[in-house]
Structure 1
């Protein structure tokens, strides 16, 4: 600390690109893959999976001495694995600043005062995925809600490094309280989600892909509608992208910092995240700001904000341009709660001040955020009813082909706004639901009798419009077994959701198996005793809109019956 200005700590050598978590990797199976089938696949690399929240992402623990890179390479070759990646270590995106007293010039630059006439962010919760937040800071206490520590798997959200407190204040420090600073969305709530730890080797805070993806999933399940991640390399992670898409499916938006390398990044544009670069007082790009085609927006990267211990400091970096843009997103969301995440993003992009080359460019994306323009656009925006249905087509397997065992199914789905989910039906039974592009499934063909089976994929958009693919008929040919007398009931499990809190639309997925094969199994899904779905085979899926449930605890029950009439059930409880 020098004259009220934050100076970065002296650092040893930075971690290399090979610095990743030992003993674990990240894996996403295709939708519909039975739990036992996934366990069998993971056993091939001696791994054991742990489901991340209510998503389909899994952290896979590996035995000591096994090569994480080799495990990832092997799993990537499996057609039933959507992606596998190393659990890489990522660092915060702040940079040393110039030794002068900071001020909140960034608020005037984005026209905050005019924006506040229409919205201050009330009713929106912003998840700060960072090093924690100072829970006693007077400028943050009024806006804090309960959070989570995904690094230690507990509720300790105290700030381990100071970075998260500064980020939180940038987004939503309390306003109109006669002291300190004002966050851009000063009436929004702050949800501290600690994803990082203090690394004494580098004297700095670091997180992992797994802690960020886990924290983001938790935030989405617990009501956050805006999330900020001010760590480098986030946009290149398949696991974090999947978690960001999961939050978007719950009606939220994820903002991430571009980085502070001062070089061009080759990461491809990411439709699940809003990537923010850093601009200065003259609307030029800071020399240390990372840029590239993945940049969506720019925002001021020099802020005067809250600091750990109850004080205030100046901080610089894309770590702070990102929460500033996130706060503007919260203003827009609060101004017009009927807007979809895609509509909010379109407003932020269309109202941004176009800098650099005309249109979207690699330095500023669509331009520097304009809070006043964005809020005004939200207030004057009439809710446009989206009546255009998505289109879907099954690209594999092809009609007339023969399948057996667990068969990969690929679907192409398009929409004028965006595809929210795709359901796969076999002979009229919904067997799986995918919410992450590319939309792909693993269909357990043992769930139907040998012979012809008809597949249909149905794509849904956020407005509820549905478009079904042309039917594809294939030939199922599995080996048959003869059981003289069947007195053994089938086994049935609710794979998703897991017991606990849920929000938005939740995919209920069940798996069933039987000693006489799963082709003769009939499954039913009940919610609070009411039948919601039924079908035949090894898997069954139902999309539950939890917004229609009363606040409180609800019961999900799966019932399976085999061809001999043996019955079993499984029950879990969820909380809205």
Structure 2
């Protein structure tokens, strides 16, 4: 729509506020102004013939002035006096060619709005309001997200809707309105498409584009991906042959989403930006030239909020659209309708089989930097515009809800964006293409097209992941980081598609191998350049070949294999990695703990039960636990329980664990265990200790235990007792005359510890077991 024309039209009449109504949406009151000096009427038929056949016969009785506002599809009638209002409304209302009629009501001072005799709501706990004389749910809604209550007089509509909302029995509740929505507009032609490739043509700045050519090297779309263009209708076109599907027109069951009348080219232009065929020697290049278009026409005429919500729900549900492109919205910054916001959330949550459809909206062309509804709904991707030099257009709406900007032209059909037109004499021109498109209308389908490329590259992504990729890969503009003028920055198709591919990449192959060599592959797109590397070096040798690499074993070990996918997007790629065990991995798996059961009998004739734990060996299939070289237990995890020491006396017990791997057996030997029983032992005091040779004594509740530390006893300067978490339980300096050395380990829990001995030059470590 042409905004400057609208302003002129509405200023033809002196606007006098008569009364103020309000409704609830977005959990707040939204106020409307009513002027009972005028009546607004929306016909069911062509507007000029309606005026001739319906309005003129009663005109002299009630009215003394009129304005046919064809852009809005509404007739504004000035009453001779306000006392005639009710009779005039009845005279028009009772004619079957009249769709809606009511006193002139406005959102703000310019945008007309007419309440219908319906209320839309989403109830809590199935509570039905008293005014619901007839209840129905549109057949294109999964579950009853909202209901329509009919049979209500317009005089009651606001009070009844507000009372039900204020009762707390609904999530939202507001009248069903008719309100005009604005279209945010205004191969041979590829050189004119500066938003795709800006070489500085026509006074632009080279590189001020959406960087799409690098993205095309990775994908040009996928015929399984569908983009719904919810707009003025889309029909078959020579530059989209066979890829415009059957669609939906809420106000016409047979409309099929096609344009109506000879003009109505706005949707056709948006669809071409998304999906026009590339390299076919005609027309323009679409951003995603292999995807399909689902046309949804919401400009048939007379659409209510319910119709618009139904269009959105149909697009993601019956239309199975992956992406919803919306270059439309409401003119007044206070506009908000929960029924439409609810439909948008349905698409974001339920679309694409539960992954969520991506919903893109133009932010609006309002010259006040405030993004318009529905472009300000939480979760939608809201798009503004810059010119070919990167300067923000003064019409481009922004604010906290703005996400991205793209290069576009001026508004009101004064732009310079090349796009598809309707075929032949219909549309903007007498040809099949236009070069005067622009506004945030031309910006929005650019983002929708790139979203389609992202899903073509990685259909597993959910709605939130796609939105974050678009935001996080944008080329920053304006203030560093997010700002209210440029959002997260300028759309960057190449980086976005590269990130989508990167998030879907993985290295396939075995987690470990025992053979001399093994081959690994990555699912990178054909034609991409891959750099393979491995860390640490010296364990394997590499033989790369495109998407695959062969590792040949040199020694046992564990390596990290990395694949880095080069791109032409000016982006540092994130390496894709995989950890691989080579041979046994030469993996040291120490005994981490040995804990004796405090409730195990202390009698010398009973077994003493304990639990042991080793560090996990990545390739191990099982663990075998031995006492005195006798197999006592086999487990598939790292905990051995129950294990027992079978006898008392002075016998030393050996303890070891085997990790069974595909490449062989790995063994760790535990501490030597001794059980000494003299007259039985109370629970919690088990005389089990590490036994070695004599040097350092660990003094506890049992007889002193000597430890061979492998250091000349005369050189010991300090000793620490540390557990496997690095906690220091004892720290003791040793003087020259402190011989023999004794460390008190009373009150230290049973378990495996590290004894650290400082010899004056370095710390030496010895693993010990302390038992009670």
Tell me the TM-score normalized by structure 1: 0.58
Once the two structures are superposed, the pairs formed by residues 92-107 of structure 1 within 5 Å of their partners are 92-96=182-186, 103-107=192-196
**Given that residues 88 and 209 in structure 1 are in contact (C-alpha distance below 8 angstroms), is that contact kept between their aligned partners in structure 2?**
yes
Counterpart pick for 1:228 among 325, 348, 358: 325
Q: Report the Cα offset of residue 176 of structure 1.
A: 2.6
The CA distance in 2 between the partners of 1:327 and 1:138, in whole Å, is 19
Counterpart pick for 1:307 among 421, 437, 442: 421
**Given that residues 127 and 190 in structure 1 are in contact (C-alpha distance below 8 angstroms), is that contact kept between their aligned partners in structure 2?**
yes
Once the two structures are superposed, the pairs formed by residues 245-284 of structure 1 within 5 Å of their partners are 245-249=345-349, 250=351, 251-265=356-370, 270-284=377-391
Once the two structures are superposed, the pairs formed by residues 159-558 of structure 1 within 5 Å of their partners are 159-160=259-260, 161-198=264-301, 207-222=303-318, 223-233=320-330, 236-249=336-349, 250=351, 251-265=356-370, 270-302=377-409, 303-310=417-424, 311-313=432-434, 314-382=436-504
**What residue number does 1:433 align with?**
none
**Given that residues 117 and 154 in structure 2 are in contact (C-alpha distance below 8 angstroms), is that contact kept between their aligned partners in structure 1?**
no
Q: Report the Cα offset of residue 284 of structure 1.
A: 1.9
Unaligned runs of 5+ in 2: 11-71, 73-105, 198-208, 410-416, 425-431, 507-772
Counterpart pick for 2:238 among 130, 138, 143: 138
The CA distance in 2 between the partners of 1:119 and 1:353, in whole Å, is 20
Give the secondary structure class of the aligned counterpart of 1:325: helix
Of structures 1 and 2, the one with the larger relative CO (CA 8 A, separation 6+) is 1
**Given that residues 169 and 306 in structure 1 are in contact (C-alpha distance below 8 angstroms), is that contact kept between their aligned partners in structure 2?**
yes
Per-residue deviation, residues 263-284 of structure 1 (Å, max 9, x unmatched): 0327695333111111111222
Q: Report the Cα offset of residue 211 of structure 1.
A: 2.1
**Given that residues 363 and 398 in structure 2 are in contact (C-alpha distance below 8 angstroms), is that contact kept between their aligned partners in structure 1?**
yes
Q: How many residues matched?
A: 362
Q: Report the Cα offset of residue 337 of structure 1.
A: 0.9
The CA distance in 2 between the partners of 1:61 and 1:301, in whole Å, is 44
Mark the CA change 1:58 to 1:359 in structure 2 (over 3 Å): closer, same or farther.
Answer: farther
**Given that residues 364 and 371 in structure 2 are in contact (C-alpha distance below 8 angstroms), is that contact kept between their aligned partners in structure 1?**
no
Counterpart pick for 1:129 among 219, 227, 230: 230
Per-residue deviation, residues 508-540 of structure 1 (Å, max 9, x unmatched): xxxxxxxxxxxxxxxxxxxxxxxxxxxxxxxxx
Q: Does 1:23 align with 2:128?
A: no
Give the secondary structure class of the aligned counterpart of 2:405: strand
Q: Does 1:111 align with 2:211?
A: yes
**Given that residues 259 and 265 in structure 2 are in contact (C-alpha distance below 8 angstroms), is that contact kept between their aligned partners in structure 1?**
yes
The CA distance in 2 between the partners of 1:148 and 1:127, in whole Å, is 10
**What residue number does 1:78 align with?**
167
Give the secondary structure class of the aligned counterpart of 2:192: coil
Tell me the TM-score normalized by structure 2: 0.44
Q: Which has the larger radius of gyration?
A: 2
**Given that residues 196 and 211 in structure 1 are in contact (C-alpha distance below 8 angstroms), is that contact kept between their aligned partners in structure 2?**
no
Unaligned runs of 5+ in 1: 1-5, 199-205, 385-576
**What residue number does 2:28 align with?**
none
**Given that residues 28 and 82 in structure 1 are in contact (C-alpha distance below 8 angstroms), is that contact kept between their aligned partners in structure 2?**
yes
